[in-house]
Amino acid sequence: MNAENIDIVLVNTTHSGNIGGVARAMKNMGLTRLTLVAPLKYPAPEAVWRAASAGEILENARVVETLDEAIAECQFVVGTSARARRIPWPIQDARQCAQRIAQHSATERVAILFGREDRGLLNEELQRCNLHCHIPTHEAYSSLNLAMAVQIVAYELRMLQMGGQEGLPEDADWDTPFSKAEDMSRFYEHLETTLVDIGFLDPAAPKQLMPRLNRLFNRVRLDEMELNILRGILTETQNAASRSKN
């Protein structure tokens, strides 16, 4: 595991004190990279005093306006989710998830996304993820404070780091780097446009086609060469569709 390759990403945090609580939880477990996506109020005094002795994590935190900016350079993205979704997605508990994160962080940039205090991550944000992380709380009271959720995941990573049990991912010797999130985002836009051009996707009634295709490609993970091949196929498909209309 390489902690320097792990980004904790907080999306649209409402209460600035929770940002400080997250910074403290991160420092407890040896994580240092914090990214804030459009927080409601930051910088804020409450974040500073809640961080206690973890002020340097706040000082070095990235603040960006969009999730795209936050995960652009990441090759493996994990989203935390507290509820079932309409389309099932690869999902693991925090302990299993930590093993995957530890493995991938050895050679890749990893982002772990935590959503809003009141409703978590949106469906479209979760669709950007390779894996969903679920913390199985008791049904009598399932609500977790944001800093508590980060602490649980960070603790599992710390335990792996101390035990040296994370191992190597199955694709550790892959011959080409895996695609970054920003390149996958462009691919999905290109794919959707192409499917509309050839009449396979009706933009007026898209149903769940694109989310399911997102899930497919996020599950198998494309490397840079595979992505370039697919982009080339899409371009030639568009050219052929254009010629057939003339």
Sign of the torsion angle spanned by Cα atoms 142, 66, 72, 55: negative
- Tell me, yes or no, whether 67 lies in a domain: yes
The answer to whether residues 87 and 215 touch, using CB atoms and an 8 Å cutoff, is yes
Distance, in Å, from the CA atom of 39 to the CA atom of 226, rounded to the nearest integer, reads 36
Closest alpha carbon to 24 in 150, 161, 178: 150
Please tell me whether residues 66 and 158 are part of one structural domain.
yes
Separation CA 127–CA 210 (nearest Å): 10
Specify if 218 maps to a domain. yes
What tens-digit pLDDT sequence spans the chain (246 residues)? 999 999 999 999 999 999 999 999 999 999 999 999 999 999 999 999 999 999 999 999 999 999 999 999 999 999 998 765 666 777 889 999 999 999 999 999 999 999 999 989 998 999 999 999 999 888 898 888 999 999 999 999 999 988 865 555 666 667 899 999 999 999 999 999 999 999 999 998 888 999 999 999 988 889 999 999 999 999 999 999 988 887
> How many domains in the chain?
2
Does the pTM surpass 0.85? The reply is no
**CATH code of the domain in which 126 resides:** 3.40.1280.10
Please give the residue range of the domain that contains residue 202: 181-245
Calculate the dihedral angle through the C-alpha atoms of 186, 11, 98, 169, rounding to the nearest 10 degrees. Answer: 10
